[in-house]
């Protein structure tokens, strides 16, 4: 137990260090900053969720003492707790028969990734800007500045745009900002979960067998989150921002389900590899458009179903 505590402390300090290097403002520093949740995820899945909690606590304390309590709290909400929580869920299981385990389904795990991303995002925004009006004004200014930079780089895009037009576009971008950020955060959390699990699997410490990721399917009841997000999105203040974030997070989750469905449906088909390579190239080149198409495909797949775990390789 003492040894596991020590591993947790080291992982938490490593995560805090990765967060701290962002002040260097270099591409390498940014890349290291983005990897900050991995040490916590790795110890949570490779040792135990208690070790992950120790890592979360030690990293938070280190940042609070070295920088500020607010920065430590932001680390706890945006990095440490999401990493620990997802690591905990990934290793949930129950014994259904002697020697046979049923592990937490990847579809439910994906749903929790989306919920975690939306909640963590809104809490961090509230910590950084307690007043919603001030937050909106800050995002509007940032959106306006980005638009002006784009117009300077490509003057043809800004041809005919008046000051009022810029203000309206900035207002729309500010309204969509929670969805954009939640979409990105959901994709990042999914990557962290996959990468952390791979590291733990390679080390031989992953307790569960590697799941059939192509069979991942959100439970149908998770789609109620889209309804909740749509209802909340018209509410004022941070409640509305949370609704927009929830829509963005589940749009990303549905896009990942759409991607999994394409992997699943193409199994054993001729030309599968070129098809999937072309798909990933298309996603990279078109970004938002491809994600929107995958989200719609994932929604149809979630609503009407497809080949389920009965025909997929068992999880245990």
Tens of pLDDT, residues 152-207: 666 555 555 566 667 777 788 888 899 999 999 999 999 999 999 999 999 999 99
For residues 214-219, average pLDDT: 92
**Per-residue model confidence (pLDDT) at position 186:** 97
Spell out where 30-112 has E strands: 93-97, 100-103
Are 94 and 105 in contact by the 8 Å Cβ rule? The answer is: no
pLDDT digits (tens, 9 = 90+) for 168-179: 777 888 888 999
Distances (CA, A) of 119 to 114, 244, 245: 9, 11, 8
Q: How far is CA 64 from the centre of its chain?
A: 24
Rounded to whole angstroms, how far apart are CA atoms 88 and 44?
7
For residue 171, how many other CB atoms are within 10 A of its CB?
A: 15
DSSP state letter for 66: H
Query: Is the predicted pLDDT of residue 23 greater than 80, yes or no?
Result: no
Enumerate residues 6+ apart whose C-beta is below 8 A from 134.
none
| Chain Cα centroid distance, residue 79 | 11
Q: Identify the pLDDT of residue 300.
A: 93
Contact indicator for 36, 19 with CB cutoff of 8 Å: yes
């Amino acid at each position: 137990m003492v040894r596991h505590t020590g591993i947790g402390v080291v992982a938490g300090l490593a995560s805090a260090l990765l967060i701290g290097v962002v002040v260097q403002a270099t591409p390498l520093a940014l890349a290291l900053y983005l990897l900050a949740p991995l040490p916590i995820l790795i110890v949570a899945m490779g040792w135990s969720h208690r070790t992950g909690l120790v890592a979360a606590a030690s990293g938070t304390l280190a940042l609070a003492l070295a920088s500020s309590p607010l920065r430590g709290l932001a680390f706890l909400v945006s990095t440490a707790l999401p990493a620990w929580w997802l690591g905990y869920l990934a290793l949930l299981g129950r014994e259904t028969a002697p020697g046979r385990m049923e592990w937490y389904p990847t579809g439910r795990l994906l749903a929790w990734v989306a919920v975690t991303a939306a909640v963590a995002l809104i809490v961090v925004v509230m910590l950084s800007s307690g007043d919603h009006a001030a937050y909106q004004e800050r995002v509007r200014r940032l959106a306006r500045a980005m638009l002006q930079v784009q117009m300077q780089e490509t003057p043809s895009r800004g041809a005919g745009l008046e000051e009022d037009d810029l203000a309206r576009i900035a207002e729309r971008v500010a309204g969509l900002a929670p969805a954009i950020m939640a979409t990105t955060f959901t994709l990042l959390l999914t990557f962290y979960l996959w990468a952390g699990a791979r590291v733990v699997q390679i080390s031989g410490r992953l307790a569960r067998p590697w799941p059939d990721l192509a069979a991942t399917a959100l439970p149908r009841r998770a789609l109620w989150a889209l309804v909740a997000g749509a209802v909340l999105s018209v509410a004022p203040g941070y409640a509305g921002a949370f609704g927009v974030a929830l829509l963005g997070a589940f749009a990303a989750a549905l896009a990942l389900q759409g991607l999994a469905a394409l992997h699943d449906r193409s199994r054993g088909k001729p030309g599968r590899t070129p098809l999937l390579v072309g798909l990933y190239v298309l996603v990279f080149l078109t970004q938002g458009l491809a994600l929107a198409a995958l989200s719609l495909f994932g929604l149809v797949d979630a609503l009407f179903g497809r080949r389920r775990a009965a025909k997929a390789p068992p999880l245990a």
